[in-house]
Amino acid sequence: GAVVSQHPSWVICKSGTSVKIECRSLDFQATTMFWYRQFPKQSLMLMATSNEGSKATYEQGVEKDKFLINHASLTLSTLTVTSAHPEDSSFYICSTRSNTEAFFGQGTRLTVV
């Protein structure tokens, strides 16, 4: 079964509202969680790396105040898109790794209207 469970799989929200995406690791201690964004027909772009119990490290150009990441436990990491705008519409994916393999969530399709 899936090691990483990501919810919701899709969400539609109004411009200006906030959306929270959850990634839960199942039977696995996710010390590190990677958050990606993917636009249509493009590759995954790393947004940030979060480590359990500490602040996330954001990639250049990613606004940390807009994309809030919380990794308070070894089994749960969340990404909150604050004050969402249509340009934030994208496919968001979380990922964690073991020594031998990487595991991805199912992805969240966010549409901001």
User: What does the binding site for another protein look like in residue numbers (CB under 8 A)?
Assistant: 6, 34, 36, 42-46, 49, 93, 95, 97, 100-107, 109
Burial class (CB in 10 A: 0-12, 13-18, 19+), 109: middle
Distance of alpha carbon 86 from the chain centroid? 18
Contact 36, 46 (CB under 8 A): yes
Side chain identity at residue 13, one-letter code: C
Nearer to another protein among residue 45 and residue 62 (C-beta): 45
Nearer to another protein among residue 51 and residue 82 (C-beta): 51
CB of 83 to another protein, least distance (A): 26
Nearer to another protein among residue 15 and residue 39 (C-beta): 39
